[in-house]
Amino acid sequence: MSRFRCKCPHLPIIREDFQNLENLPDLPDELIEHILGMVSPTEIVAYGWDRVSQSVSSIIHRSICSKTYFCATHDPIWRLYCATIGSFDGASQKFDKLLVLLIKKYLCQVEHLSLPVTLFSHIQHLLIKHSYLAATSGTSCAFRFPQPGVALTHLSKITIQIGGDCGSLTLSHNFENLRTSSSMCKTLSEINLDILLSDKEDVTCAGFREILRFLKEVSCNSTLWNIRLCDDTTAGQGWSGPANLNRYRNKMFICYVRTMLELSLQINRLDLIDKRKASPYMLVMAHRRTIYMFPEFKKCHQLMVCYDIGLIAPTFSHENDRFDDLVLFEVDESHVLYKSDLLEYLKTAHQLRDVRVVVPATWSSRVLRCTQGCFSNPDYACFRADGWYNVPSKLPLAHFEIIDATKNNEEQIICI
Q: Which residues contact 171 (CB under 8 A, 6 or more apart)?
A: 204, 206, 207, 210
Burial 66-90 (b: 16+ CB within 10 A, else e): eebebebeebebbebbeebeeeeee
Taking alpha carbons only, the member of 79, 121, 127 closest to residue 104 is: 127
Q: What is the mean pLDDT of residues 375-398?
A: 68
Considering only the C-alpha atoms of the chain, give the largest distance between any 2 of them, rounded to a whole number of Å: 89
Is residue 154's pLDDT more than 80? yes
H or E stretch including 312? strand 309-312
This prediction's pTM = 0.84
DSSP code at position 157 = E
What CATH number was assigned to the domain covering residues 68-276? 3.80.10
Is residue 274's pLDDT more than 90? yes
- Separation of alpha carbons 102 and 199, rounded Å: 36
Residue 61 half-sphere exposure, CB side, CA atoms within 13 Å? Answer: 22
Q: What is the mean pLDDT of residues 136-151?
A: 58
Q: How sure is the predictor about 174, in pLDDT bands with cuts at 50, 70 and 90?
A: low
Specify the higher pLDDT residue, 54 or 157.
157
Q: What is the mean pLDDT of residues 64-75?
A: 84
What was the pLDDT predicted at 409?
Answer: 44
- Separation of alpha carbons 89 and 95, rounded Å: 12
Q: Quick check: 257 and 267 in contact, CB under 8 A? A: yes
H or E stretch including 306? strand 300-306
Highest mean pLDDT among 279-283, 320-324, 389-393: 320-324
- Domain residue ranges in the chain: 1-13+26-67, 68-276
What was the pLDDT predicted at 413?
Answer: 39
Taking alpha carbons only, the member of 237, 327, 335 closest to residue 280 is: 335
Is residue 195's pLDDT more than 90? yes
DSSP code at position 233 = -
Q: How sure is the predictor about 215, in pLDDT bands with cuts at 50, 70 and 90?
A: very high
Taking alpha carbons only, the member of 256, 206, 215 closest to residue 113 is: 215
DSSP code at position 287 = S
Three-state helix/strand/coil letters over 285-354 = CCCCCCEEECHHHHCEEEEEEECCEEEECCCHHHCCCCCCCCCEEEEECCCECCHHHHHHHHHCCCCCCE
Is residue 280's pLDDT more than 80? no
Q: Quick check: 299 and 267 in contact, CB under 8 A? A: yes
pLDDT tens digits along 87-140: 666 778 888 888 888 888 888 888 899 999 999 988 888 888 887 777 655 445
Query: Which residues are paired to 328 by β-bridges?
Result: 302, 354
Query: Which residues are paired to 304 by β-bridges?
Result: 271, 330
pLDDT tens digits along 26-47: 777 677 777 776 777 888 777 7
Task: Kindly report the average pLDDT of the chain as a whole number.
Answer: 79
- Separation of alpha carbons 144 and 139, rounded Å: 9
Q: Quick check: 323 and 298 in contact, CB under 8 A? A: yes
Specify the higher pLDDT residue, 415 or 28.
28
Q: Output phi, psi for 399, to 5 deg.
A: -90, 115
Q: What is the mean pLDDT of residues 49-70?
A: 73
Q: What percent of the chain has pLDDT over 70?
A: 74
Lowest mean pLDDT among 7-11, 15-19, 84-88, 329-333: 15-19
pLDDT tens digits along 298-314: 999 999 999 989 888 87
Q: Which residues contact 247 (CB under 8 A, 6 or more apart)?
A: none
Return the amino acid letter for 319: E
Ranges of beta strands (E only) in 138-274 are 157-162, 190-197, 224-231, 267-274
Taking alpha carbons only, the member of 18, 14, 43, 45 closest to residue 29 is: 14
Residue 169 half-sphere exposure, CB side, CA atoms within 13 Å? Answer: 31
> Does residue 71 come out as left (phi exceeding 0), alpha (psi in the -120 to 50 range) or beta?
beta
What was the pLDDT predicted at 160?
Answer: 95
Q: What percent of the chain has pLDDT over 90?
A: 25
Residue 194 half-sphere exposure, CB side, CA atoms within 13 Å? Answer: 12
Specify the higher pLDDT residue, 403 or 341.
341
pLDDT tens digits along 220-250: 999 999 999 999 999 889 888 888 888 888 9
Task: Write down the H helix ranges in 142-294.
Answer: 179-184, 205-216, 242-247, 253-262
Is residue 192's pLDDT more than 90? yes
Taking alpha carbons only, the member of 292, 313, 180 closest to residue 238 is: 292
- Separation of alpha carbons 308 and 329, rounded Å: 14
Is residue 252's pLDDT more than 60? yes
